[in-house]
């Protein structure tokens, strides 16, 4: 039985080494694709090559009528602590967001900042999430380090997406999958690639017990061979294999109540 309603495929690791027009062409060819871009104070402050590249990409996207939720900014290092713990958008990050071609998703990668359950209080983030509601949506990774924090967050608001990634962003495949937060979009990540996605979708599907809104996230195995940026050819094959899994299971999905 197919329970997965796959709304998005997030292909991550894009940066200023990737041709902006090629990204736009890729997004046009793949309506459910989302491009993930890592941002941090160290690499994306105003005036940096990445900051300028993102602004230029946004402008091309606007001119190409690519708007809502086609880009996800993955907030890392000190910026993630500022957003996730204090509930503040640093000025340079806020400026980037203000230039976005439409609504987008903002992923807060807290683990790299050393914040676990004991240091996190969801109240500040909840306030920021509610302020951004209707404009942008936040992604909060779920793992052993911050499980209590995410559950506390979920008990008070449903205006965010959750990403299951037991490897803390290091691209290690999950030993098993979970489906805990049924009332919000659930994302799955960790070592996924075109070669293994068919079998992993079977496993992800097996832990659902009703129709579930999900998205699939990949980065490490979608990078170019030099690992410096996203490989759009690998991303295209990844999406192709996801669509093949859907097609194989489409009849079962349509029969479900």
Parent domain of 16 = 4-255
The count of structural domains within the chain is 1
Which residues face 11 on adjacent strands?
35, 218
Q: Write the CATH number for 204.
A: 3.20.20.70
Q: Which two tokens stand for residue 204?
A: 């992800």
On whether the CB atoms of residues 15 and 222 are closer than 8 A, the answer is: no
The answer to whether the CB of 108 falls within 8 A of the CB of 77 is no
Q: How far apart are CA 61 and CA 65, in angstroms?
A: 6
**pTM, rounded to two decimals:** 0.93
pLDDT in tens, the chain (257 residues): 789 999 999 999 999 999 999 999 999 999 999 999 999 999 999 999 999 999 999 999 999 999 999 999 999 988 988 898 888 999 999 999 999 999 999 999 976 444 444 456 788 899 999 999 999 999 999 988 888 889 999 999 999 999 999 877 777 888 899 999 989 999 999 999 999 999 999 999 999 989 999 999 999 999 999 989 999 999 999 999 999 999 998 755 554 44
């Amino acid at each position: 039985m197919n329970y997965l309603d796959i709304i998005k495929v997030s292909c991550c690791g894009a940066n200023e080494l990737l041709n902006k027009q090629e990204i736009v062409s890729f997004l046009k060819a793949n309506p459910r694709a989302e491009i993930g871009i890592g941002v941090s104070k160290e690499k994306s402050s105003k005036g940096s090559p990445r900051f300028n590249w993102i602004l230029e990409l946004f402008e091309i996207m606007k001119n190409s009528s690519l708007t809502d939720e086609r880009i996800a900014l993955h907030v890392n290092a000190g910026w993630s602590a500022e957003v996730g713990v204090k509930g503040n958008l640093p000025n340079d990050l806020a400026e980037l967001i203000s230039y976005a071609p439409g609504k987008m998703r903002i992923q807060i990668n807290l683990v790299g900042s050393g914040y676990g359950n004991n240091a996190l209080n969801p109240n500040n983030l909840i306030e920021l999430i509610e302020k951004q509601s209707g404009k942008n949506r936040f992604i909060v990774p779920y793992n052993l380090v911050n499980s209590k924090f995410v559950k506390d967050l979920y008990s008070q608001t449903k205006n965010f997406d959750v990403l299951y990634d037991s490897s803390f962003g290091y691209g290690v495949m999950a030993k098993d999958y979970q489906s805990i937060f049924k009332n919000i979009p659930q994302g799955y990540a960790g070592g996924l690639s075109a070669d293994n996605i068919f079998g992993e979708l079977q496993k992800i599907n097996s832990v659902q017990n009703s129709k579930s809104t999900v998205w699939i996230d990949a980065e490490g195995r979608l990078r170019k061979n030099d690992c410096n940026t996203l490989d759009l050819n690998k991303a295209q094959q990844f999406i192709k294999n996801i669509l093949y899994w859907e097609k194989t299971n489409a009849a079962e999905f349509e029969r479900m109540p």
